[in-house]
Amino acid sequence: MARFEIEGPAILQGKVEVGGTKNEALKLIAFSILLEKPILFKNTPSILDVTKQLEIFESMGGSYKLNSHNLLIDSSKVSKTRLASTSARKLRASIVFIGPLLARFGKVTFPLPGGCLIGARSINTHTDAFRQLGAVIEEKNLFLTLKLKDPVKKRVKLLEQSVTATENVVMYCAGVEKTITIENCAIEPEIVHLCEIIKKAGAKIEGIGTKKLVITGSKKLELETATILSDRIEAATFVIAFLATHGAGEVFPYPKDNLEAFNKLLIQIGANVSFTKNKAIVNKTESLKPFDIKTAVHPGFPTDLQSPIALLMAIANGTSTINETMYENRLKYLELLNKMGLKVVMKDNHNAQITGPTDFKATKIDSLDLRSGITMIIAGLMAQGKTIVENGQIIDRGYESIEKKLIKLGAEIKRLK
């Protein structure tokens, strides 16, 4: 367990470097199971979720070396098809081992996964897709076992545009020597990049970046190295942190093309922000216009930015609204910010109204999930006095050495155990 102690208010200033994206790193660890030889992943974030995913990988017989964000991973000795229950239950991303293991061994057993407590996140899209592809599924003692018994089908249509289900099925198709069409795919940047990496490894993929993919897989995939994308959610979070504290600075590398909805919103609300090819430049901004957001799958506004963007609503002059379309518990953090002084009206589990500007007051507060956790830290930087953010290990799941990065920007923050 960890907690963060923050002395506010702070005005963040300086340059901050963004790490590799959590969501891609976790999937690429699973993807390595399909490769005949070791692969080096560059720009690997040193975060808690990556550590947990590697523990699961290692428990199946895999080996790795992680040194200065370079991850050398070898799956040649992977032999177990049952995921370790303790680790896998705590990490929802463990579910993406299903596709590669099913492609390589024809079976896999896994516990129902965990993750952040932001609402029900059914795995029905995953299981339905693999049923369509010929898998037989059995449930026993909170474990699911998938076995390929029927001939592999040539077409699968996902129940919804799920990011992890799309990645799971894509990796499965990449590892079988058939041509399979996947319909209703998610098109997040991490999925596009995963497909490009798989293509370089030897599989054939048509329709990259669209909702329909046609994949011809191979049992002889091989790739020496791949570089993980910069984390667009972390990058946007630091832009928000500069604006929320009335600071100024640079965020790099900044994946401008992968944050179009966020970038457009910043301009609309009057944020003094400009973008170059690989960085965002944030200048001091005194006031913002109120605004409305509705979360959606890419290219819509990301649900992972819904929590931190509320802090810009808090300093805007007027009333803003949030419509969280994806998770029914993701607005719970607003009740905590209300204790710090946020003027918020909860309409229901998916809708809220925030009126600014707000003078935040320091207090002891909790981290409910990864994204609300980083929101609490930024709120602490905005508040007058000493804020304690509990359950800091949740923030470590997706943000590497967050206190060190913030200290370099002028924050008074320290980690307590």
Catalytic residues: 116
Q: Pairing state of beta strands 225-227 and 39-42? A: parallel
**Which H/E stretch holds residue 124?**
helix 124-132
The distance from CA 43 to its chain's CA centroid, rounded to whole angstroms, is 15
Please give the angle made by the CA atoms of 15, 18 and 21, to the nearest 5 degrees. Answer: 170
Q: How many CB atoms lie within 10 A of CB 347?
A: 12
Q: What is the DSSP letter of 19?
A: -
Rounded-to-integer distance, Cα 193 and Cα 196, Å:
5
The SS3 of residue 71 is strand
Is residue 327 within 8 Å of residue 118, measured between CB atoms?
yes
The SS3 of residue 360 is coil
Query: Which residues are CB-neighbours of 293 under 8 A, at least 6 positions away?
Result: 265, 301, 306, 309, 320, 321, 322, 323
The distance from CA 293 to its chain's CA centroid, rounded to whole angstroms, is 19
| Residue among 342, 336, 282 at smallest CA distance from 313 | 342
